[in-house]
Chains A and B, each alone.
Chain A
Amino acid sequence: MAAKTPSPEVVGKIDHHPPAQNWMDTKPEFKPGNYLYAGKASALETVGLPNPRDWNPTDDDWKLPADWKGTVREGIAQRLERFRSFKLFMDICVRCGACADKCHFFIGTGDPKNMPVLRAELIRSIYRGEFKTAGKILGRLAGGRKLTEEVIKEWFYYFFQCTECRRCSVFCPYGIDTAEITIIAREIINLIGCNIDWIASPVANCFMTGNHLGLKPHTFKENIEYLLDDIEEYVGIKIEPSFNRKGAEILFVTPSGDVFAEPGIFTLMGYLMLFEHIGLDYTWSTYASEGGNFGFFTSHEMMKRLNAKMYAESKRLGVKWILGGECGHMWRVVHQYMNTLNGPPTWLDRPVSPITGTVFENAVSTKMVHITEFTADLIKNNKLKLDPSQNDHYTVTFHDSCNTSRGMGMLEEPRYVINNVCNNFVDMAPQVIRENTFCCGSGSGLNAGEYLEMRLRGGLPRANAVKRVAEDKGVNMLSCVCAIDRAVFPALMDYWVPGTEVCGVSELVANALVMEGQGEREYNLRGEENPSYVPPEEPEGEGEAGEEGEE
């Protein structure tokens, strides 16, 4: 399949000095491991996206539609009218360079077009060359260039080499957000059928089946039931959640990545155990079975089309409000877009925790609460029986997901939860956490297998920060509140920081939960012998032997 990934020694040799040649004269090189496969025609057809065709980014001819230039120009013009952000960000950049060394892809590749300022210039130069008088007349001197097929190839290459993490925006004196520019640029090239498969196929799947894997309703249910068996085996508790149940108080939606793959499934087991512990009246939906919104990586319209199902399902089932699982982009969309796109959900109530009575004032309009806020409130009100020593074999650090930190500002809640369920928590350096956090390198639909080398490069700054706390403070567990993180960190850690495991915060919560009627917690949710386990009866037990290292 994908190209062989070079060793960390090779990948880590990066020169950050720009070449002598003007950037307008350089072209992207589509090499295995650093470009993404094209969106399949069938996926595009399913959701009615333009120009479905079989093509490959390495082809000379991209089979663009006949009047592709007109479509792109019109696409830009329309978005200039519709988005003040776009119009403003095209005009006011002073190229001060404050953002230049902030992008994880720039740090990991040294490619100057990954400097956020230059990434934006890729489209800004067309804006000048095609829309502004000075650029039309003076051309390159005014920083303008003409729209050519080469430009489209370059856009495809670099706008799918941006994870929309917004780190550059924090440092920009005008708050110019490259994520916003990337979102719009992707939207524009989508108009002529230039999409990537790792986004287009999940979009089609989400649209048809509700989740990005295309799990059909019965499979979705079966997957969760399989995890229930694991819980019964390791915790000794039999949980019976409901699916598509009308009249439940709360609808729970989480990214489907948690449903099927390690270590996300352990987080999902964490949700199940937490809800059982507090006796929550909730239901899963097979229809709204994906929180992650792949439309966000496609277009605003697609984001709206996919997001609609959450509200629609809450209405159909007659729940009072919605609870959302640990996910990055899902929460950026829920927090900043959902209410505007598909709201307001007049049929829902103010979100009130049925356990603590807390009104989530910050979510009174969307009626959707984040699981970590919800859990923090439970802990604060002493509603959970916790034994943090169950996590004693972990020294935990926390990765702030880009979207929940720079798109919401949820920084303290996860730390509060972790500190209450773990005894050993260490933060990474202040330059790389909270709003300064580094992306996992695979967000915004870039976690494709064929893209591994680029993902490892993009994830280098994050991995490097983890490496420092692993070496200095003995960190062996990287926790996060994002399903993409959980999906991609294991490979990233194995490559740059071998020996560091990855988990969601809810898994740590579940480890520490002391549940009524639970059996002996000899095994953790991962089915590993629990080193913190002390057999209750015999004082001289084998439990002692359960040191780390033992499988």
Chain B
Amino acid sequence: MGFLFSVVAVLVLVGIALVGVGGLGLKVLFGVIIPYAAVLTFFAGLVYRVVDWARSPVPFRIPTTCGQEKSLPWIKPNKIDNPCSGGMVLLRMAFEVLTFRSLFRNMKLDYRQGPTIRYSSEKFLWLFAMMFHWAFLVVIIRHARLFTEPIAQWLQTLEHLDGFLEFNLATFGIGLPTIQISGLVLLGGVSLLLVRRIVVPSVRYISLAADWFPLFLITFIALTGILARYVIRIDVVKVKELAMGLATFHPVVPDGISVWFYVHFFLVCVLFAYFPFSKLMHLGGVFLSPTRNMVNNSRAVLHVNPWNYPVKTHDYHEYEDDFREEMVEAGLPVEKTLEEAEAEKAPAAPAPAEAEVTEEKED
């Protein structure tokens, strides 16, 4: 259900842009209004979600430790997977965010009747995820060339690196722009993730529309982007004019941009607007995960729970009251002897009266 729904949903989105721009000519809507609204939603939503999480306290220090803790001085701690200081946490998080360390150690169950259980290394998810995320990052950064003037040197270097497999087909009379590896890797990565989700039965079983939809959406974004660049060869100068207008808050809508650009652009806008409300927020969440971003020094340093409240306990005196006789008999030390306890248990009412009497006497 989720699968079909997501395919249809993305196709409908494509249709909306085609009809909206191609049929109805709503270029201002698709070129200016929707993009602004989407970006606004993205940032407002992102901030809202992160602040919302951050407002929930972290009552207990609960890191998942994946290596030796810092204990006795002659035992070597694992500083990355069991951080003992803030710096080490940064290192752990950096490895997690930049190299997907947890996915790298993923293992695959090999269950044979008998039964025999084996585990072998499983790197596909890690590989596909790395391809996808890094390529996506490069693609996004690359797009900054449309929004900046002059184009920064580092951006040009990045593009140069990205296009290191330069096919200068112009010599053959075919003027094709430089092939940017990142776009193809992104498409490859997202497709492999999609195929994995279809092929692996357990992953297919747990997949929701919320999992299929972003995959299809990003696939179509990558496809239309590649289409626009290599096949339709949209007018980049005009696209840049539009982008610069948006970036400088002086929107202009140049004529002569292919409708396929608007399809691409609209899907990107949908992705932006959808982002804060979806699982894509793992981008922000990964930094806030208490099992990963905490120092494992719970016994060395006090961690405070902001909502800690007093609770009813069964204190020692109640305990002794319950078992005093047995304790005395067993030779266990007691706070109050049986006699003392007996005396205290004597009717409570006369006590104040007695006190009064003593006072009177003293007078």
The closest CB in chain A to the CB of B330 belongs to A218
User: CB-CB < 8 A to B48: which residues of A?
Assistant: none
User: CB-CB < 8 A to A334: which residues of B?
Assistant: 299
Cα distance A244–B332 in the bound complex, in angstroms: 7
If A92-B279, A171-B102, A412-B75 touch, whether A464 touches B300 (CB-CB below 8 Å) is no
**Complex contact B299–A96 (CB within 8 A):** no
Residue interface bits A352-371, CB-to-B below 8 A is 1, else 0:
00000010111111101000
User: CB-CB < 8 A to A175: which residues of B?
Assistant: 64, 96, 102, 289-292
If A169-B291, A409-B67 touch, whether A217 touches B326 (CB-CB below 8 Å) is yes
Of B125, B279, B298, chain A has the most CB atoms within 10 Å of the CB of: B298
**Complex contact B316–A313 (CB within 8 A):** yes
Q: Is B302 on the interface with A (CB-CB < 8 A)?
A: yes
**Complex contact A100–B300 (CB within 8 A):** no
Cα distance A416–B323 in the bound complex, in angstroms: 42
Contact with A92, one of B115, B285, B298, B304 (Cβ below 8 angstroms) = B285
Cα distance A410–B52 in the bound complex, in angstroms: 35
The closest CB in chain A to the CB of B117 belongs to A464
Instruction: Give how many B residues have a beta carbon under 8 Å from the other chain's beta carbons.
Output: 100
Q: Is B301 on the interface with A (CB-CB < 8 A)?
A: yes
Cα distance A231–B285 in the bound complex, in angstroms: 55
User: CB-CB < 8 A to A173: which residues of B?
Assistant: 96, 100, 102-103, 129, 286
Chain B interface, >50% SS class: loop
User: CB-CB < 8 A to A409: which residues of B?
Assistant: 65-69, 77-78, 82, 296
Contact with B206, one of A81, A95, A221, A416 (Cβ below 8 angstroms) = A95
User: CB-CB < 8 A to A87: which residues of B?
Assistant: 52-53, 56
User: CB-CB < 8 A to A408: which residues of B?
Assistant: 65, 69, 296
User: CB-CB < 8 A to B73: which residues of A?
Assistant: 361
Interface residues of B in 50-77 (CB under 8 A from A): 52-54, 56-62, 64-77
Cα distance A81–B308 in the bound complex, in angstroms: 13
Interface residues of A in 397-414 (CB under 8 A from B): 405-413
Cα distance A365–B82 in the bound complex, in angstroms: 19
User: CB-CB < 8 A to B2: which residues of A?
Assistant: 141
Interface residues of A in 419-449 (CB under 8 A from B): 429, 431-432, 434-436
Cα distance A81–B54 in the bound complex, in angstroms: 10
**Complex contact B202–A100 (CB within 8 A):** yes
The closest CB in chain A to the CB of B101 belongs to A173
**Complex contact B311–A431 (CB within 8 A):** no
Contact with A413, one of B66, B75, B288 (Cβ below 8 angstroms) = B75
Contact with B74, one of A17, A344, A380, A405 (Cβ below 8 angstroms) = A380
**Complex contact A435–B75 (CB within 8 A):** no
Q: Is B314 on the interface with A (CB-CB < 8 A)?
A: yes
Minimum CB–CB distance from B98 to chain A (whole Å) comes to: 12
**Complex contact A411–B67 (CB within 8 A):** yes
User: CB-CB < 8 A to B296: which residues of A?
Assistant: 408-409
The closest CB in chain A to the CB of B307 belongs to A82
Q: Is A316 on the interface with B (CB-CB < 8 A)?
A: yes
The closest CB in chain B to the CB of A206 belongs to B314
Q: Is B319 on the interface with A (CB-CB < 8 A)?
A: yes
Instruction: Choose, from B104-112, B217-225, B241-249, the stretch at the interface.
Output: B104-112
Contact with A361, one of B74, B82, B300, B307 (Cβ below 8 angstroms) = B300
The closest CB in chain A to the CB of B333 belongs to A244
User: CB-CB < 8 A to A376: which residues of B?
Assistant: 72, 75
Cα distance A355–B60 in the bound complex, in angstroms: 33
Residue interface bits B200-212, CB-to-A below 8 A is 1, else 0:
1111011111110
User: CB-CB < 8 A to A373: which residues of B?
Assistant: 71-72
Cα distance A16–B117 in the bound complex, in angstroms: 12
Q: Is A51 on the interface with B (CB-CB < 8 A)?
A: no
**Complex contact B206–A362 (CB within 8 A):** no
Residues of B within 8 A of A (CB): 1-2, 5, 49, 52-54, 56-62, 64-78, 81-82, 96, 100, 102-103, 105-109, 111, 113-117, 119, 125, 129, 200-203, 205-211, 277, 279, 281-282, 285-286, 288-292, 296-305, 307-308, 311-316, 319-320, 322-323, 326-327, 329-333
Closest 6 CB pairs of A and B: A409-B69, A218-B330, A92-B285, A409-B65, A101-B109, A12-B115
> Given A169-B64, A340-B302, A361-B73, list of 8 further CB < 8 A pairs?
A102-B107, A112-B205, A141-B2, A341-B308, A360-B72, A362-B299, A380-B74, A408-B69
